[in-house]
Amino acid sequence: MASTTALYDKLGGEETIGKVVDYFYELVLADETVSHFFANTDMEKQRRHQTKFISFALGGPNQYSGQSMSKVHSGMNLQPVHFDAIVKHLHDALKHFGVNEDNINQALSTVETLRDDVMYK
């Protein structure tokens, strides 16, 4: 876990991750493959949740107090194309902020562990 903690710190902590999340949602909302999932979403609240979640996923403090991943995504019937689009946008957002590929891959491998919790619900 030490390398993951270093990744959270290396990226600049929650403040920088918040900027990554803002850019990530610009990409997501511009992508008609997945943007409709957020049509009725309070995006300010969504950004706060996602910042805390990604911070935790990258080894930061666990401040995420939202519902379980499977419960949050219940009824969405997310397919591989949707999950893959989200992963691509997260990759591109991290790259946009100068994160190197090794660190991006480390972050995305953490996200990948959630695939079964959100797909086909």
Binding residues for heme: 49, 73
Both tokens of 42, joined, read: 């309070």
CA 78 to chain CA centroid, nearest Å: 15
Known binding-site residues equal 49, 73
CA 38 to chain CA centroid, nearest Å: 14
Residue 78: beta bridge partners? 119
Q: Looking at 23-75, which runs of residues are DSSP E strands?
A: none
Neighbours of 100 (CB within 10 A): 11
